[in-house]
Chain A
């Protein structure tokens, strides 16, 4: 039962353009959402998060948008850089504080120089 879904397994974007990665969830109890970036043979690296009380959070080139009514969130990277090429995982949890994360299956982003 996949409660967090990333329906695009891969995405290719030209350097300098915007990358948009999408994520959908089914569990209405989720109230905290995170994006992680993962390189091969390494652990996921935390990128950015958003609480359900917000609809947008921005950190440098990374912005996460949350649409609670649609149970959808997206990560925007602008401008995209070749070093952004990695697998991006969306994750969600049901309570603030320490709690286990539910991960999507990931989207492999390739930024073409």
Chain B
């Protein structure tokens, strides 16, 4: 089953450390989206990438957050100098770009101590 893969599934960081979240899209998908879900809330769009390009980063916090989707390898969501408010579930989704159906990975649950 070549679904969307995310790792790690759980990540614990202390305040000030860096968090790196990885996402491998479904086979044949070249569009990757990152979403964040805070407790008791819906998913909020963060960034949309295609291979080597950021298409839309309107949902990304202006500081400490960055994302990339290199030519080879998974997409990476990087959070520098994490704070407690970054604790959330981060979901990656991919699509073929032809339809709107986005297929989601299992998520990475980030806990900042």
Q: Which residues of A contact B (CB under 8 A)?
A: 4, 6, 32, 34, 36, 41-46, 49, 89, 91, 93, 96-106
Interface residues on B, range: 20 to 34
Residues A34 and B43 in contact, CB atoms below 8 Å apart: no
Q: How far is the CA of A32 from the CA of B102 in the complex (A)?
A: 12
Is residue B31 contacting chain A, with contact meaning CB distance below 8 A? yes
Q: How far is the CA of A32 from the CA of B105 in the complex (A)?
A: 21
Q: Which residues of B contact A (CB under 8 A)?
A: 4, 6, 31, 33, 35, 40-45, 48, 55-56, 58-59, 91, 93, 95, 97-107, 109
A100-B100 CB under 8 A given contacts A42-B107, A89-B42: no
Q: How far is the CA of A98 from the CA of B48 in the complex (A)?
A: 9
Residues B100 and A43 in contact, CB atoms below 8 Å apart: no
Which A residues lie within 8 Å of B109 (CB)?
41
Residues A100 and B42 in contact, CB atoms below 8 Å apart: no
A44-B104 CB under 8 A given contacts A98-B97, A100-B33: yes
Q: How far is the CA of A103 from the CA of B31 in the complex (A)?
A: 19
Which A residues lie within 8 Å of B95 (CB)?
98
Q: How far is the CA of A89 from the CA of B58 in the complex (A)?
A: 22
Residues A102 and B104 in contact, CB atoms below 8 Å apart: no
A95 nearest CB neighbor, chain B only: B100
Q: A46-B102, A101-B102 are in contact. List 20 more A-B contacts (CB 8 A).
A: A34-B101, A43-B106, A44-B43, A44-B104, A45-B104, A49-B100, A91-B43, A93-B100, A97-B99, A98-B31, A98-B97, A99-B100, A100-B33, A100-B45, A100-B56, A100-B58, A101-B35, A103-B43, A103-B44, A104-B42
